[in-house]
Structure 1
Amino acid sequence: MIPKSISIAAVAGTALLWSIAAEAQTVGPSGEAATPSQDITLSDSDLSALSGKGYKAALLWHTSSDFINAVSAGARDEFAKAGIDVVVETDAGFDPAKQRSDIETALAAQPNIILALPLDPTTSAEAFRQAIADGTELVFLSNLPAGYEHGTDYAAIVTDDLYQMGKQAADALASGIGGSGNVGYIFHDASYYVTNQRDQAFKSTIEQDYPDIQITAEQGISDPARAEELANAMLLKNPDLDGIYVTWAEPADGVLAALRANGNKTTKIVTLDLAEPVALDMVRGGNVTAIVADKAYELGRAMAVAGMKSLAGEDVPPFIVAPALTVTKDNVAEGWQESLNRDAPKSVLDAAK
């Protein structure tokens, strides 16, 4: 899910690298190879070693949302297997100063493991230093504090398989338009590694794998509120677009509004991250042909396991990625559960019947 208020400065220093070798892939901050989250598990002996020790965990999040609720649920369920209590859960509201205060509050409860998304590389680096000094195992969601070293300062970074999200979006749009045609590309015009990698993966997949599809219109967007305006301008210059890629679901809703205002029922949309308005259009057979989502519950599960394995003295890979999921009308109910660990909105389920 895309933070709306996170500063460019907060992410520029931790931007993940995106490489194309024999096969493009998501890589870590220093080029670390990604370890699939399904490879990060606890054995029965691990659980026995952790149980009954009175270990505690804290979840220090950057915001509150369905996405964070699912990440938390995955972490809580995994911690429960080892009898580890979650004693603190906070929401910093995208405020680095509030996050620093949350860390201080959490440390008073003496957690053995902290799961968090650091909002600002510099501020977070200082804020988490006391946790390191206290011997707390740190597992980060996506971002990394400046200067932190794996195995010394933190146990692991866990994030989405960003390349696969973009690639699956390209594959879905290609399928939706029959493998040929002209498409528009609406990308996130800001230095934020999550959207940057996903957007670049979409573009490179179209260019490399689909010679009969041409990206004939490109538009950067930084303010989702301008999506309808920008889409109208794109459609005015390119009225024959067969499809449009939109960087995430909120601006995709604005693009949908532009298509409807133009009476356009044929241009297909693919976007990223689950949201009710675009999902409702998709299941009703509208312009949206697919939505690519992350597996938020799996992110939380993997974060908890990484923290517990490090607490038990085991080696943990530095960079762990959870798989992407393509959601269509046919699997929307299952996709919502797999991604967010909850039912899809009633409106979506009713329309999908």
Structure 2
Amino acid sequence: MKSPPVRLALAACLVFVVAGCSSTAGTSTHQSTRISAKADAALSELRGRVLSKGPHGESPAVASALTLTVDEEAQVRAKNATAAIVMHTGGDDWSQAQIAGLKYQFEKLGIKVVAVTDAAFKPDKQVSDIETVLSLKPSIIVSLPTDAVATANAYKEAAKTGAKLVFMDNVPQGMTVGEDYVSVVSSDNRGNGVVSAHLMAKAIGGKGKIGVIFHQADFFVTKQRYDGFLSTIQTDYPDVNVVEQKGIAGPDFAGDAQAAANAMLTKYPDLSAVWAVWDVPAEGVMAAARSAGRSDLVLVTEDLGKNVAISLAKGDLVKGLGAQRPFDQGVAEATLGAYGLIGKQAPPYVALDSLAVTHDNVREAWTQVYHQPPPDWLNSSYKK
């Protein structure tokens, strides 16, 4: 049996340990609250702003500034024009929303869509698609080049036919705005990267080890996302440690990202979070996390696709993302095609601001992004 002095000493030690733990917990809670407030303030300041510059350093014009008068719309309809949509890929929600926005606006302007192609992220396939489309003699071509160098000659040949070219996101090398193409339209991809950095910092309390999965290609917009995320997380949140970065080149972006995430989780069992460059690679990260039993892993990404939306709605692995506005982007691209038809001066670069999406606003964000009510599967997935 311990003597009273020993018991008193042990009790004093226990009080000291508990007080120390309480102090540590209090400090951690304080830091998390401070980081959350800092991230929220930054996100609020970003709302409605565009951070990206164009492919050649152009300042952005806002999509809402693109207008056609009643007389100009009549001039467009009188052209009996046609349009071809030459996609880098058609197999994701973003691409389908772009196509929907394009078709909506082209129909509104009396322009017939004669072709929609899907290059499956393969430059040689896209070159072939362009050659096939040119046989239809479209008045307008709207396209996202898979590779700025490998596809350049094909687009230059398209420009020589007199077709009015409007680009999504990326511009082929050696082409001049106002001469070879009308304009380029993009979401604020740098802004989306910045948004996702603040969302990640908030989700992990501003500290921890993270991995980054980026697009290993000469692709203007994905570079902007990566640069925006990395510079913000490293500059604004010094207690977040980027311990691993892996590039993926596709075309199996989900599979490549899963392999990259598996390697990260094996090498760093205490990894707090992963950033993925868009929603399809994020799906691969989700698969890796589930396989490793890492239900606590925080995942932040870009683009509001179906599977990441479900994860957000459930309060699962995905904690936030920076969303583009692809339907509105398609409307802007079709409008610029009409500008080209009637010789109206177009801004060289048009951008749409980023949208921060979390569990709380995922259903409202779906409507903003796709111009449709939240689907039943999203509403049924949502956990309050």
TM bin (shorter chain): 0.7 to 0.9
Deviation at 1:204, TM superposition (A): 1.2
**Any idea what SS the aligned residue of 1:256 has?**
helix
CA distance 1:50–1:176, shift in 2 (3 Å): same
Task: Name the amino acid aligned to 2:340.
Answer: S
Residues 1:128 and 2:158 are matched in the alignment:
no
8 Å CA contact 2:212–2:242 kept in 1: the answer is: no
Cα deviation for residue 61 of structure 1 reads 1.9
User: Residue 315 of structure 1 corresponds to which residue in structure 2?
Assistant: 345
For 1:226 and 1:110, how far apart are their aligned partners in 2?
38
Structure having the larger proportion of residues in helix:
2
Residues 240/147 of structure 1: CA separation in 2 closer, same or farther (3 Å cut)? same
Question: How far off its partner does 1:117 sit?
Answer: 1.9
The answer as to whether partners of 2:170 and 2:220 remain within 8 angstroms in 1 is: no
**Quick one: which of 326, 330, 333 aligns to 2:360?**
330
Q: Distance in 2 between matches of 1:114 and 1:148?
A: 15
1:82/1:172 Cα in 2 relative to 1: closer, same or farther (>3 Å)?
Answer: same
RMSD in angstroms over aligned alpha carbons?
Answer: 2.8
1:59 maps to 2:89? no
Pairing 1:351–2:377 present: no
Aligned partners of 1:105 and 1:226: how far apart in 2?
A: 31
| Shift in CA distance, 68/263, structure 1 to aligned 2, threshold 3 Å | closer
Structure 1 residue aligned with 2:187: 160
Worse overlay, 305-314 or 162-171: 305-314
Secondary structure of the corresponding residue to residue 73 of structure 1? helix
Pair member with larger Rg: 2
Identity of aligned residues (%): 36
Q: Secondary structure at the match of 1:138?
A: strand
Tell whether the 8 Å contact from 2:156 to 2:175 is kept in structure 1 after alignment: no
C-alpha deviation, 1:151, in angstroms:
0.7
The count of aligned residue pairs is: 329
Provide the secondary structure at the position in 2 that maps to 1:321: strand
Task: Write the deviation string for residues 304-349 of structure 1: whole angstroms up to 9, x where unpaired.
Answer: 1111112221211112222222222232233233324456564433
Larger displacement relative to structure 2 (192-201 or 23-32): 23-32
Contact 2:50 2:351 in 1 (8 A): no
CA shift at 1:45, angstroms? 3.4
1:187 maps to 2:213: yes
Code of the residue aligned with 1:199 in structure 2: it is: Y
Q: 1:311 to 1:226 in 2, by over 3 A?
A: closer
- Structure-2 residue corresponding to 1:15: none
Q: Which residue of 1 aligns with 2:138?
A: 111
Q: Deviations over 1:194-221 (max 9, x none)?
A: 322212211211233334x422422213
Q: 1:295 touches 1:338 (CA, 8 Å); kept in 2?
A: yes
Residue type matched to 1:25 in 2?
L
Alpha-carbon shift at residue 171 of structure 1 (Å): 1.6
Report the CA distance between 1:295 and its aligned residue: 1.1
Point out where structure 2 has 5 or more consecutive residues left out of the alignment: 1-48
- Partner SS state of residue 126, structure 2: helix
Contact 2:170 / 2:221 at 8 angstroms: preserved in 1? no
SS in 1 for 2:151: helix
Q: Give CA deviations for 1:204-259 in whole Å, capped at 9, x if unaligned.
A: 11233334x42242221326425445435534554444433222333333433444
Assess if the C-alpha contact under 8 Å between 1:117 and 1:140 holds in 2: yes
Supply the AA of the counterpart residue of 2:173.
Answer: A
How do residues 161-240 of structure 1 correspond to structure 2 at under 5 angstroms?
Answer: 161-178=188-205, 180-188=206-214, 190-191=216-217, 192-211=219-238, 213-222=239-248, 224-235=254-265, 238-240=268-270
TM-aligned CA deviation for residue 172 of structure 1: 1.3
Among candidates 111, 128, 132, match of residue 84 of structure 1: 111
**Aligned equivalents of 2:327, 2:50: Cα separation in 1:** 25
What's the counterpart of residue 320 of structure 2?
290
Return the alpha-carbon distance in structure 1 between the equivalents of residues 125 and 296 of structure 2: 46
Contact conserved, 2:50 with 2:188, CA < 8 A, in 1? no
Structure 1 unmatched runs, 5+? 1-22
CA distance in 2, matches of 1:235, 1:90: 38
1:148 and 2:148 are equivalent in the alignment: no
3-state secondary structure, aligned to 1:289: strand
Native 8 Å contact 2:52 2:190 kept in 1: yes
The alpha-carbon distance between structure 1 residues 102 and 207, as it changes in their structure 2 partners (threshold 3 A), is closer
TM-score by length of 2: 0.76
